[in-house]
Amino acid sequence: MPLNKIRPFSAKPNIKDLAKQSGVVGLAVDLIDFDPKFKDIFSYVFGNTLVINSIDTARKIGIGKIKMVTLDGDLAEVSGAMIGGFRHKTKGSFKQKDLTDDIKELDRKVKSGDKDISKFEKERMDSELKINKLRELKANLEGEIIKTEKSLHLDSTDLEANQEYKKELQKSIEDNAKQTEEIENKIADETEVLTQLKVGKQTLRNQISELRNPRLLAELNSFEQKRKEFGEDKIKVDAELKNLDLQEKEMVGRDKENTLKVMKELEKEEKAFENEIKDFDSVIKTSSVALKKKEKQQETLHTQFKDLFNKRNKASDEINALESKILGVEENSRKVEISVNTLSIEEARLKAEFAGMDAEFAQYDGVELNMKKSEEDLKKEITSFERMMSNIGSVNMRALEIYETVEKEFNILMEKKAVLGEEKDDVLNLMNEIEINKKDLFLDALEVVNKNFRDIFQNLSTKGDAYLELENPEQPFEEGMRIKVKLTSEKFMDIRSLSGGEKTLTALAFLFAIQEHEPASFYVLDEVDAALDKTNSEKLANLIRTYCKKAQYVVISHNDAVISEGDVLYGVSMKPETGLSAVVSLKA
């Protein structure tokens, strides 16, 4: 949780009154130990939770007034939901520090699990990178093969390949040979498995031949009938394949005609390029003549430039000599000026010393001298006084100046503090406005999505009804949301109680409800109808067809009802001879 954004729980007035009733241990936030810097987070999580002795106390207080948890772990939510807790023979689940050791052990296991997860995630990413590299290599090799096949139809002059290019192709062929060897080994393993399956099949046939009874014969007749039906289906499929082959030939024929047209246009462009080359040759000849004239003019200008350059060098030498003389004169004048400045400084120093001595003796003006004391006594007194002065220490003459500077900085900081306080109040007011508006916007959006969800669910399930329900309507961001569904009975059930197909219908209804509120331009649905029966698949196909007017849908499915509604179909299969994927497209 972000420490800079979490706000502490503002306790309601009735919480303290409830905490004083009999059977109440106290507020959860008062019964646990934590670092004071995490006070806001613990107040946010546990500030509205009351710890009680038993569920009977919760009934006396009134379930739904506040979130309550018993010492045995039973939980009573504000919404009225009651959840049974864990019971131990000797210990409860909310008794202060009893579970500290267990929590530490679980934290250690969680950390080790996170390390293993990160390790496996890294290995997965490395594997995906290797797979992507191999796919790129495969695509490049297929492109090279296609280029090579096309090059067989070019002229003899285009067949001269670069030696390095041949080496690269040779290397790729060796890599393909290694991969082919690995695939052959895998095929050998699969062949061995297939051989075992054939042996099992032969044993089953022997058993069938031994069990020649009327019931088995009747079953065989039914199987034969199905085989004939499959044969008829095979004939239909073969006919469709022939039609597809004819379409392919027509497309190839059209491509051939287009290629011939392009080749004719290229021949025309080649002739135009030859004419342009001739024009450029004539322009080059005229430009070469003009270039020779310019070169002669350049030679004459170069000789003139040399003469001017020599004159400039002579003038620069004369200027340098004059500048050296000027520098000598300036150096002498600077020496004289320095000596004058030195004498002025010495004179000022002497005057200052004289003035200082006058000021020093001025304080003793009018003081009577004690001529009776000896020189040694006077020296002792001077020494003691000097010692006292040294003990006092030197006077900081810049104290007033430093005080003024610090006072100015202090006033500036106080002004900044006042400005920051005003900005803090503005930011807090803005946060409160955002929180209020966020809740209103969320509830408005939820109301619209809930209405769309009910309408779409009723279209998909004619006898059913569904709606969205918040776990905590007063503070919706603290808890989650439930989906309530009613199909055949009169009772609404949670989505977790539904079957796979019913869950799929509910999830699709919720998806299209969100689309109605915030539509996107592109959707991909990957086998969402896998758990649906034929009737519900048809309803889903009709619904997607309705929404195709507003967005584009890419649907991956094996269901005929969904496939029949598609505008463009793409079928993907694998050729057994080469093991490569083949894609067939068809417009509806």
Q: What is the 3-state secondary structure (H, E, C) of 331-353?
A: HHHHHHHHHHHHHHHHHHHHHHH
CA 560 to chain centre: 38
* Residues 441/517, Cβ–Cβ less than 8 Å: no
Q: To which H or E segment does residue 102 belong?
A: helix 100-151
- 497-517 CB burial, b ≥16 within 10 A, e <16: ebeeebbbbbebbbebbebbe
CA distance 289 to 321: 49
What does the alpha-carbon distance between residue 67 and residue 70 come to, in Å, rounded to a whole number? 11
The answer to whether residues 485 and 505 touch, using CB atoms and an 8 Å cutoff, is no
pLDDT (0 to 100) of residue 520: 81
d(CA 140, CA 148): 12
Amino acid present at 489: S
> How far, in Å, are 285, 394, 405, 410 from residue 401 at the CA level?
86, 16, 6, 14
Q: Residue 245 corresponds to which amino acid?
A: D
The reported pLDDT for the residue numbered 118 is: 74
Q: What is the spatial distance between Cα 501 and Cα 158, in angstroms, rounded to a whole number?
A: 61
- Cross-strand bridge partners of residue 554: 524
**Which amino acid, one-letter code, is at 75?**
L
Q: Which residues have CB under 8 Å from 498's CB, separation 6+?
A: 485, 487, 506
All domains of the chain, ordered by start, with CATH? 13-98 (3.30.70.1620), 252-345 (no CATH), 403-491 (no CATH), 519-588 (3.40.50.300)
Residues 495, 492: Cα–Cα separation, whole Å: 9
**Distance between first and last Cα of the chain:** 53
pTM assigned to the model: 0.29
Indicate if the alpha-carbon torsion angle 471, 473, 479, 483 is positive or negative: positive
70 has which bridge partners? 52
Task: Give the per-residue pLDDT at 157.
Answer: 44
- What pLDDT is recorded for position 395? 65
pLDDT at 208: 55
Cα(499)–Cα(495) distance, rounded to whole angstroms? 9
Residuewise pLDDT in 10s, the chain (588 residues): 666 667 776 666 677 777 778 888 888 888 888 888 788 888 888 878 889 888 888 888 888 778 889 888 888 887 777 777 555 444 444 444 445 666 677 777 777 777 777 777 787 777 778 777 887 887 777 777 777 766 655 444 444 545 666 677 677 777 777 777 777 677 767 767 766 766 766 666 666 555 555 665 666 677 777 777 777 877 887 777 777 777 766 666 666 677 777 778 778 877 877 787 888 778 888 877 888 888 888 888 888 878 887 888 888 788 888 888 888 888 888 888 888 888 888 888 888 888 877 777 776 666 666 777 778 888 888 888 888 877 776 666 677 788 888 888 899 999 999 999 999 888 888 888 887 778 888 888 888 888 888 888 877 776 677 888 888 877 777 788 888 887 766 667 777 777 777 788 788 888 888 877 777 888 898 888 887 878 878 888 888 888 788 888 888 888 888 888 888 888 888 877 777 887 777 776
State the pLDDT at residue 64: 76
Q: What pLDDT does residue 489 have?
A: 64
Strands in 465-470's sheet, in edge-to-edge order, are 465-470, 481-486, 493-494
Instruction: Please give the backbone phi and psi of residue 53, each rounded to the nearest 5 degrees, phi first.
Output: -75, -45
- Residue 402 neighbours by CB under 8 Å, 6+ apart: 396
* Helix, strand, coil % in the chain, rounded to nearest 5: 70, 10, 25
Instruction: State the Rg of the chain over Cα.
Output: 49
Per residue in 518-532, is it b (16+ CB within 10 Å) or e — as a string?
eeeeebebeebbeeb
The residues facing 485 across adjacent strands are: 466, 493
| pLDDT score of 154 | 45
Rounded Cα distance, 428 and 191, in Å = 73
CA separation for the pair 433, 278 (Å, rounded): 78
Tokens of 173: 């062929």
For the sheet with 49-52, list strands across it: 24-27, 49-52, 67-70, 75-76, 82-83
